[in-house]
Amino acid sequence: MAALIRGLKAGRALRGLRSVAVQGTLSPQCNNVRRGFHRAALLRLASDSKSDTSVPPPSYHEVHTAGESSSSSAQGESSEGAQSNTSFQDQSGEHGEDYETEEQLQARILTAALEFVPQYGWTVETIAAGAETLGLSSASTGMFNNGAGDLVLHFIAQCNAQLAETLAEQNNLVQLGQAESKKTAEFLKDAVEMRLRMLIPYIDSWPQAMSILLLPHNIPDSLKHLSTLVDDIWYYAGDRSTDVNWYTRRAALTGIYNTTELVMVQDSSPDFEETWAFLDNRIKDVVNMANTAKQVQATGEAVVQGLMGAAITLKNLTGMNQRR
């Protein structure tokens, strides 16, 4: 029991280290120095608290994964840290697991930053505001090499994940027979509408986000997210094709999604009615094209059969088919 309490104190102290305000900007070179300080501080804490087994492993993890904030003296900060750290434990929700990876921390900051987007737009200030609500210093935006791009990509990934989850749930209901399966056109329309509705809270600043996504260094990531989105939607719509249809369907849906998104940012009708009408029309177009293609193919085959029949009739009439 005493060892457990010591372990908790050590964990809290380490979080305190992270939240200390940094003088000057964080740079990658500083990270290693900071990690060194971290480890020194950690060893001092561990030896002071005299707990041998329970403290080092979890704290070592934290040292490995948390890379920011420095301290000149661990002892000085630990008391300060102990006060301002209850928020972390509340947020992580678990008392035993007192470490998280850098990616998880970044994700938390970006999620918190999203509520400031209407105020500051898709910028580094938004991320700083988000970090501050978590009790971190605004200089922790240095963690994000891509700045606002990180925020937009995180938001997109979050929306796509949410959509995939919802579609999977709906799929489960259909599999269990508790819901009707939709026709493909209707399914696509609903899925794209659901995904675009996630943009509504941020629609005023969305053109800024779109332009950030068009920056050359962001294009690969944004294309990856877009292709994952379209693949997910088609998968849950029931597409199991393994030929060139795989590509044509996804290309068509990508076109539909992008154009509808563009219409949405300049749509001022109530509840974006015009956007949904536009979406409906585009999907109808694609369905029409697919049907037309099938009809053309069927007609072509029928024509070929007709011609072969005519040729054979001609051969019969001219007597060329007879055995000599």
Query: Given the structure tokens 């509808």, which residue do they identify?
Result: 260
Selected binder of other proteins within 238, 265, 274, 280 (CB under 8 A)? 238
Residue 215 or residue 302: which is nearer to other proteins going by CB?
302
Residue 236 or residue 276: which is nearer to other proteins going by CB?
236
Residue 259 or residue 299: which is nearer to other proteins going by CB?
299
Site residues for other proteins, 199-228, by CB under 8 A, read: none
Residues 6+ apart with CB under 8 A from 157: 225
Selected binder of other proteins within 231, 261, 274, 280 (CB under 8 A)? 231
Residue 33 or residue 308: which is nearer to other proteins going by CB?
308
Pick from 66, 222, 235, 221: nearest CA to 167: 235
Tell me the site size for other proteins, rule CB under 8 A: 21
Determine contact, residues 272/189, Cβ cutoff 8 Å.
no
Determine contact, residues 136/19, Cβ cutoff 8 Å.
yes
Residue 47 or residue 247: which is nearer to other proteins going by CB?
247
Residues 124, 138: Cα–Cα separation, whole Å: 10
Q: Is 167 exposed, middle or buried (0-12, 13-18, 19+ CB in 10 A)?
A: buried
Only segment of 4-12, 90-98, 236-244, 255-263 that touches other proteins (CB under 8 A): 236-244
| 245 sits near other proteins (criterion: CB under 8 A) | yes
Query: What x/- string results for residues 294 through 313 when contact with other proteins is judged by CB under 8 A?
Result: -------x--xx--x---x-
Which tokens in the block code for residue 115? 């509520």
Residues 12, 79: Cα–Cα separation, whole Å: 10
Residues that bind other proteins (CB under 8 A): 171, 175, 184, 231, 235, 237-247, 301, 304-305, 308, 312
